[in-house]
Each structure stands twice: as C-alpha cells, then as structure tokens.
Amino acid sequence: MKSKIILSFIFMLSLSIGFAQTKEELQAQKSEKQAVADAAQAEANAIQAQIDALPGWKKGAFGVIGGSLSHFNNWYAQGAPNNSSGNIGINFNAYANKLEDNYFWRNSLTVNLAWVKLDDKDDPNDNDSFKPTTDVFNISSLYGQKLSEKWAASALGEYRTTILNNFNDPGYLDLGVGFTWTPLNNLIVVIHPLNYNFVFADSDTIFESSLGAKVMADYTRKIGAIDFKSNLSAFYSYKDSDLSNWTWTNNFSYTLWKQIGVGFDFALRSNKQEALNYALANYGGPVGDEPTFGTVDNDLQTYYTVGLTYKF
C-alpha cells in the first residue's frame, strides 16, 4: 500500500515538473518571438521615416468622437429626478504637406465641436435641445523656400474662428513672413517677426487688429497605430500686449481594430480680448464700473475630449 502511495506521489511530482518545464519553454519561445517582432517593428519604423522624407505630397486625417446619453426617472436623490441628458464631441484633424528638395507647402485643418443637452421632464419651459459648447475651427497654410537643410524663408496664413456660434465674431487672420526652422521631419517652428493679426468682430471697441510677431510650432507624428499632433500658435502684438494671444492644442489617437480606436484631445488658450468681451456681455453691475483690459480676469481657457476615434 505504501509503495503505491509513493509511486503515485512520484508520478504526480513528475507531472508537475513536466508542466513547469513546458511553461518555461513556452515563455522562452514567447520572448524569442517578441524580440523578433520588436526588431521587425523597428525596421518598419525606419522604412516609414525614409518614406516620410521623400519628396511629394504627404496627406492624412484622423478624428475623435466622444459622447454619452443618460435617462433618469424618479431619481429623487438629484435636483431634477426626471431628465434626459447627453453630450457629443467631435474632433477632426487633417493635413496635406508637399515636401520638395527646394521648398515645402504645409496645410492643416483642425475642427473641434461639442454639444450638450439637459431635458428636465418636470420643467415644460426648459431648453431640451443640444446646445453647442466647444467650437473650434483652425486652418493654416505655410509656404517655405529652403535656404538650407533646416532653415527656410517662409510665409504663413492662419485663420481661426468658431462656426456653430458667432461665426467670424471674432475671427482671426494672421498673415506674415519670416523664417521656418525644421530640426526634424515631423517638427516645424515658425518665427515671423513681421505679422499682421486681422481681427474680425462686431465690436470694434474691444477687438482690434495690430502688427506683431508670430510664433508657431507644430509636431505631427505617426508611430504604428498611434497618431499624435501638437500645435502651439502665438501672436505678440507690438501695439499693446492686451492684443496678444496664444493657443496650444494636442490630439492623440490610438487605433485598436481596423480604423477604430480611442482618442484624447485637449487645448489651452489665452486671449484677453475674448475675456473682456465675455465679461462685458455678462456684466450686471452699475454703469461706469464696467470691466476693462486693466481689470478683467484673463483666465486660462481649456477644453478636452475623450472618446472613440475613426481613422480616415
């Protein structure tokens, strides 16, 4: 009896050792295959970099779609127990760049739109429609005549506005000349000491066009399933610093399956003219004590969108 127990124990021990050895062998095989895959991906990235450096047109587009819908019925813990709510956000980025040996022409488009709704079923007078919240439209075109491998004499046109509310009120058109530095294939830095910032708006007392300097930095990169774009656009007015402004946008997209993935966008902006215009539109104090450029709080403007993406 004892011999049978010992034999059974030895048999089970040998099986466990065999399984352990099999698992270690599989892990070793996995490591080898992963090393081969990493090397192949590195070679593919190197080839893609060579392709990106070739002359001709380079085009691309990607976007983010985010949203949520909810419905509450007799949910008494909140102020509006019967309501339907939702939000939808869409971001679209596209570029078309022509890169030649002696010159380049870079064009980009960014659109970010968002809507939100809250329908209080117990309030027949509330607004139950989707209302626009985020509203961004930006298009730019940069032409450069190369002076060297990294530097070029350049001209830039950039237009920024909203399209859902107050189209071209305000709208900003920058036209300027200067130099562009291209330290990397995916990074461009625009330095234009001669730039005129045209401002279109119904209120000429707040919004004012002026001459100044323009600085723009743009980094666009694709690594495998990842698309990334970061853009900083800044204008410094020679006439008055209150007329200066800057905007920094960032777009990230990761493709999970076929053309579908996840994305994240966020942006920062500082614009004192817009801050004063908003403060005056919402001012309810005594006449003669209205906000001015010297008293208005120029709070940092921000937005972000998280959601599913579709690669065009």
Q: Mean pLDDT, 10 residues at a time, over the chain (312 residues)?
A: 60 55 72 79 71 74 76 75 82 87 92 85 80 87 95 96 87 96 91 96 84 94 85 95 93 84 88 90 84 89 80 64
Distance CA 290, CA 297 (A): 13
| Tokens coding 201 | 């708006």
Look at residue 196 in the predicted model and tell me its pLDDT. 97
| Tokens coding 112 | 């970010």
Would the CA dihedral through 171, 177, 178, 183 be positive or negative? Answer: positive
Look at residue 234 in the predicted model and tell me its pLDDT. 96
Look at residue 54 in the predicted model and tell me its pLDDT. 67
- DSSP states along 62-120: EEEEEEEEEEESS-TTSS-SSEEEEEEEEEEEEEEEEE-SSEEEEEEEEEEEEEEEEEE
Contact assessment for residue 210 and residue 198, using Cβ atoms and an 8 Å cutoff: no
| Tokens coding 126 | 């509330």
CA distances from 107 to 3, 59, 173, 299 (A): 83, 9, 15, 31
Look at residue 52 in the predicted model and tell me its pLDDT. 63
Q: What is the pLDDT of residues 287-307, one digit of tens each?
A: 878 888 888 888 999 988 787
Look at residue 18 in the predicted model and tell me its pLDDT. 54
Per domain, the residue ranges of the chain are 1-54, 57-311
Residue 308, SS3 per DSSP: strand
| Tokens coding 213 | 């300097």
| Host H or E run for residue 221 | strand 210-223
Contact assessment for residue 286 and residue 298, using Cβ atoms and an 8 Å cutoff: no
Task: Kindly calculate the radius of gyration of the chain based on its CA atoms and give it in whole angstroms.
Answer: 28
Look at residue 9 in the predicted model and tell me its pLDDT. 57
Say which amino acid occupies 92: F
Look at residue 145 in the predicted model and tell me its pLDDT. 96
Q: What is the CATH T-level fold of the domain 57-311, as seen in this structure?
A: Outer membrane phospholipase (ompla); Chain C (2.40.230)
Contact assessment for residue 252 and residue 299, using Cβ atoms and an 8 Å cutoff: no
Q: Which residues, in sequence order, are CB contacts of 275 under 8 Å at separation 6+?
A: 296, 297, 298, 299
Look at residue 44 in the predicted model and tell me its pLDDT. 75
Look at residue 305 in the predicted model and tell me its pLDDT. 77
